[in-house]
Structure 1
Amino acid sequence: MIADWVDEGVEPTAGEFWEDLGACSGQPPTDPPCTAYEWSMFAPYYVGEQVAWDGHMWEAKDSRGQEPGVHAAWKDLGVCSGEPPLSAKRGQTRSAAALPDMPNVPPKASGMFDRMTPAKCAERANLAGRPQGWLMNRFSWCQMGKLDAYYSSGKCLGNTTPCIPEPAEYYKADVMPIGYTFNGVEGRDQPKGDTARDIVVEAFVYNQSTYGNMPPGNKLTLGMDIGNKTRCEHVTSRGGQTVQNHRTALISSWIIDGWATFRFRCPHGKASTKRIIEWLDGANGVKEYVANDELVSFTSIKPYANFPDWPVKALGISRHTKYITGTDKWLVGNIIRCDSAVESDYKAGGCVFYKTNPAVHWKPLVTNKAGTKTWDIIQAYQHYWNACLDPDAQTWPDNPAKDIAGCDIPPSRDTGYLHREKEKQAGSNQDATYVKCSRMWPGYPSSGDYPKQCDEYPFASTRQRTLAPDGTSHFYGEWSFCPIRANDNEKAGLYLKRYYHSDRVLYSDKFRNRFASPPSGDPVPARAQLCGTPSVAN
């Protein structure tokens, strides 16, 4: 068919936009294949020589060799398709550009957090390519970087005048380390000596290419550096086998098998006796030096590479260590925290990637064993929603200028973080809540058609609910109290405790509250309908 005028996106059918020119057979024409060798910035070219680059074939008009399509040294011969062939004459080799499959992905962390895979990391290349990499969650991390090494003899190519330098030989590759931490014994091979405070890094070297005959016969060392060696260490033996924190092999071997595994550990016996905690309040921070009851240790990991037998005259990377992203050894890519918290549900220990911003995601709908979705903790959910979205008008005590911490409701509602308190203090906070509610709603536990408990937000287990000596909040903001169904309140408390365990949220750790959707009820019940009107408003 032929178009009467250009109208992008209109399907060709006889009518207003297209004229039918009759039937045809066969396949539409395709672009010719890229038959010339791929252009290289390090190779000399002669007048008339052809290369493939950026989906086009090119012919050299002079010997300068600048990038085709950017400089006028090349004549465009038209579009081509497919992967250009490798030049055996120039010693070109190339490994698969596709990311490898990963057979040893650990089970979901805490039974709920998905694990990183090469494909998932590549989907977030813009984040994974940063010096700190990408933290998918508290238990999975990845980083994407590049390796490159060059060598030039400095000699002239033949007897050319003026001198055309011999082409530089090179090795180039993409590198993707993927890190895993664990919560308790899940996913750990205990018979081989693994512990919950282990860190495992799977490193993939892919999309490798060489130019010249020298690089494949030289060695590449890829390894992982660990920080805080006083508290943490490389695992040197596993299941009776020696384990190293690096792999050294010929580049030709890396091209065939570009995979390496590294293991680290932060033993609880090496933890310090004291640690620093920080309470954040907006832009302000309060630091405390406390007993390290949870046996916390911090460390960092950072991938590096070197070429131990590369020629001394090499350009770019030499025999010296180079870090995969960022050349500064002390530019720490990520922080890992391991602990063996003393509370009963943490005794197995575990580690997390610490620089994530954890959040508890509240969901009013749950799926039961039969697959049916039912409303759950709905009154607690409605209370938290009102406290976060409209605290000055829809919460008690009454305050027309109230603001409450820990809420994250995009795009406009962000009131910072909550910080976890110690269990003993959480119990004292619950007692204070009972006294407050009993004064505001006398006899509330037995009022109405079902037993009630007084729900508070921020939660009793957070520092934002803890009273300072003068009776006010430790941090900015205030509270909301609401008598709700006892069953809803107890379940919400269990969910919150489960969240602390699954994300390894320790004393002083910050977190936010997020909501899957507005709660049921249109509109959401007002405070008087949900909580009842108190006898004493404050």
Structure 2
Amino acid sequence: MALGAVAALAVGAIPAQANEAVTYRSEMYVIRDPALAQNPDIVRVTLERDGNLDALGIQPSAAAGQAPSAAKPRIAAADPPYAVDSSRFPAGRKPADPYDYMNHANCLANAATAGQDAGWIKNRFSYCQIDLVWAVDLKCGPRGCQVIGAIGATSAVVGYGKIGSHPENATQRFADFRLVTTIVYTKGVFDQPNATMQATVRCAGEYRVGFGIPNDRACHPGKFETRKATIPQWRLDPNSYFDLLSDGYQPGAEFGEQLAQGVFKFEYEFTPKRDVDLKSVSPEGGLRFDSAFYLRDKQGSIFDRAVPGMAYRKSDAGVAGHAVHIDEARANPDATVPTKQGKRLLGGSSAPGDSLHRLTSARSEDSRARAERNRTVSTNFCKTVKMPPKPPEGGPFDCDEYAFASSYEGSARNEYDGAQYALDYTVRWVNSDQNQEAGRRLFGWQENDRILDLGRDQKLDPHDQERFYIPINP
């Protein structure tokens, strides 16, 4: 996004007279506004006129040099959440490309979302964030400041979550990043051949359940932590590579999921000819590492700021009956069976309180027993006289249930979580092939996208009890 011919920076305020005290200072800005990231000339013009970005509502960023707080890192959800189509997992099979990574062109094309603090999360393995970074050198006197030097750069970072352990350490989980930095403007001290820019990745993490490894190993840089180069070198090669690691043990039930969550930032540092370091950091991204012994692929890393979702389509012949059941039931819960006024059927959105939590039989005996109980409650109702008769055509039929038996919101929830949840489920006769294919796709997605069973039996607060949602599309 290099600018064309750019006018030299003009005096932004009345210059100091010769007999007045003159001082020099420098300021840094990290700008996330997508409109400004795509039109950096607006920033340049404002700096020319004012010597600052107050008119754009942007203040200089705080000095960096420190990692995010290591005390219980917390993350806000990205907007929008992500959802994949269930057809990506036919018969529950692992896709040929389990990641579906984005590239930098995709990242730039989604600048409006990538410019938000949470970045753009295409899916659990694919993340991008776009910053516009400016450093400004100022000459100031009693009557104002004059811009005598400046540099502007757009930074687009794409992150890659992983399935499997680090190739050099079987107990470490990892993620890596590619940063593309485009220098869009330089003037003054930043035009000097010895002016440099440095980019560094920082991360602070925490193990959600302690198992003997210090928290400073929950998320830390690997071999590729920083790149420092002169401005001409950045222009010649805008690509930088970084990695983050998380220590663990071999996957096993004795250690649980070995869940580590971290917040990461990119720190930018400029050194003009006066050897004054200018530092600032980007907003935080969120990253999770796990060694879930019950998943098909035991170790991995994902970007956890977006609530994951999988969509069924009513037009998809493979799962149509199941999709129609969920859609109609959530639209009018009181008309479903078993009957209950004020019934709640969750999972229609990513909002807190309207999502589902995975229950997998492979995790523990308790999980297996609860999933089996969910299925038993549903099938037992389908055997009663209160169940409508099977349709005359379209069979053979299964007793299809929602919420899923493989969720904590399944039909037996009242037996575990309280009587208020009694009958908060729906059953319907659905074509057997479609019902079973829908179940296989759900399992395949949850395994591939690392949807964990972080339910009621762990000492985790509700924020950490991983949730998902099931949109229904036409």
- Range of TM-score over shorter length: 0.5 to 0.7
1:338 aligned to 2:260?
Answer: no
1:391 aligned to 2:336?
Answer: no
Whether the 8 Å CA contact 1:182–1:196 is kept in 2: the answer is no
Choose the corresponding residue for 1:491, options 414, 430, 437. Answer: 437
Change (3 A) 1:342 1:193: closer
How high is the TM-score relative to the length of structure 2?
A: 0.67
Question: Match for residue 231 of structure 2?
Answer: 251
| Residues in 2 aligned to 1:464 and 1:215: alpha-carbon distance in whole angstroms | 63
Whether the 8 Å CA contact 1:222–1:306 is kept in 2: the answer is yes
Choose the corresponding residue for 2:377, options 403, 408, 432. Answer: 432
Deviation at 1:37, TM superposition (A): 6.0
Question: Match for residue 219 of structure 2?
Answer: 232
Choose the corresponding residue for 1:262, options 220, 223, 242. Answer: 242
Matches within 5 A, 1:438-517: 438-440=383-385, 450-465=395-410, 466-469=412-415, 478-507=424-453, 508=455, 509-517=466-474
What SS does the aligned partner of 2:135 have? strand
Report the residue type matching 2:347 in the other structure. G
What SS does the aligned partner of 1:178 have? strand
Report the residue type matching 1:342 in the other structure. F
Give CA deviations for 1:256-298 in whole Å, capped at 9, x if unaligned. 212110011223329999xxxxxxxxxxxxxxxxx85222211
What SS does the aligned partner of 2:7 have? coil
Choose the corresponding residue for 2:198, options 213, 221, 226. Answer: 221
What SS does the aligned partner of 2:409 have? helix
Report the residue type matching 1:458 in the other structure. A
Whether the 8 Å CA contact 2:14–2:143 is kept in 1: the answer is no
Whether the 8 Å CA contact 2:251–2:293 is kept in 1: the answer is no
Matches within 5 A, 1:69-88: none
Whether the 8 Å CA contact 1:336–1:354 is kept in 2: the answer is yes
Question: Match for residue 114 of structure 2?
Answer: 128
Whether the 8 Å CA contact 1:467–1:474 is kept in 2: the answer is no
Deviation at 1:167, TM superposition (A): 5.9
Which runs of 5 or more structure 2 residues have no equivalent in the other structure? 16-39, 43-47, 51-93, 206-215, 362-367, 456-465
Whether the 8 Å CA contact 1:299–1:335 is kept in 2: the answer is yes
What's the % identity of the aligned pairs?
21
Whether the 8 Å CA contact 1:220–1:307 is kept in 2: the answer is yes
Choose the corresponding residue for 2:345, options 404, 417, 439. Answer: 404
Report the residue type matching 2:108 in the other structure. A
What SS does the aligned partner of 2:437 have? helix
1:351 aligned to 2:338?
Answer: no
Deviation at 1:197, TM superposition (A): 2.6
Report the residue type matching 1:420 in the other structure. R
Report the residue type matching 2:380 in the other structure. V
Give CA deviations for 1:9-50 in whole Å, capped at 9, x if unaligned. xxxxxxxxxxxxxxxxxxxxxxxxx9986141458999xxxx
Aligned-pair Cα RMSD in Å: 4.1
Deviation at 1:109, TM superposition (A): 8.4
What SS does the aligned partner of 1:144 have? strand
What SS does the aligned partner of 2:451 have? coil
Matches within 5 A, 1:21-420: 38-42=7-11, 66=49, 111=97, 114-152=100-138, 168-184=148-164, 190=167, 197-212=173-188, 215-228=192-205, 229-236=216-223, 244-269=224-249, 293-308=256-271, 311=274, 318-319=276-277, 321-325=279-283, 333-347=284-298, 349-366=299-316, 375-393=317-335, 395-408=336-349, 416-420=354-358
| Residues in 2 aligned to 1:224 and 1:36: alpha-carbon distance in whole angstroms | 32
Report the residue type matching 2:431 in the other structure. R
Q: How many residues align?
A: 370
Deviation at 1:179, TM superposition (A): 0.9
Whether the 8 Å CA contact 1:151–1:311 is kept in 2: the answer is no
Whether the 8 Å CA contact 1:403–1:477 is kept in 2: the answer is no
Report the residue type matching 2:354 in the other structure. G
Change (3 A) 1:43 1:183: same
Choose the corresponding residue for 1:421, options 355, 359, 379. Answer: 359
Report the residue type matching 1:180 in the other structure. Y
Deviation at 1:198, TM superposition (A): 1.6
Whether the 8 Å CA contact 2:246–2:289 is kept in 1: the answer is yes
What SS does the aligned partner of 1:355 have? coil
| Residues in 2 aligned to 1:447 and 1:35: alpha-carbon distance in whole angstroms | 70
Which runs of 5 or more structure 1 residues have no equivalent in the other structure? 1-33, 47-52, 56-64, 68-107, 156-161, 237-243, 274-290, 313-317, 326-332, 367-374, 518-538
| Residues in 1 aligned to 2:199 and 2:136: alpha-carbon distance in whole angstroms | 17
What SS does the aligned partner of 1:217 have? coil
Report the residue type matching 1:218 in the other structure. A
| Residues in 2 aligned to 1:355 and 1:435: alpha-carbon distance in whole angstroms | 39
Indicate the larger mover: 490-499 or 336-345: 336-345
What SS does the aligned partner of 2:296 have? helix
Whether the 8 Å CA contact 2:201–2:221 is kept in 1: the answer is no
Question: Match for residue 105 of structure 1?
Answer: none
| Residues in 2 aligned to 1:110 and 1:456: alpha-carbon distance in whole angstroms | 30
Whether the 8 Å CA contact 2:337–2:387 is kept in 1: the answer is no
| Residues in 2 aligned to 1:110 and 1:506: alpha-carbon distance in whole angstroms | 22
Deviation at 1:379, TM superposition (A): 2.3
Question: Match for residue 23 of structure 1?
Answer: none
Give CA deviations for 1:158-190 in whole Å, capped at 9, x if unaligned. xxxx999986122221112111102348xx8x4
| Residues in 2 aligned to 1:270 and 1:234: alpha-carbon distance in whole angstroms | 20
- Say which structure is richer in helix: 2
Report the residue type matching 1:151 in the other structure. D
How high is the TM-score relative to the length of structure 1?
A: 0.59
Larger of the two Rg values belongs to structure: 1
Whether the 8 Å CA contact 1:406–1:414 is kept in 2: the answer is no
Deviation at 1:471, TM superposition (A): 8.4
Whether the 8 Å CA contact 1:406–1:511 is kept in 2: the answer is yes
Whether the 8 Å CA contact 1:297–1:337 is kept in 2: the answer is yes
Change (3 A) 1:382 1:164: closer
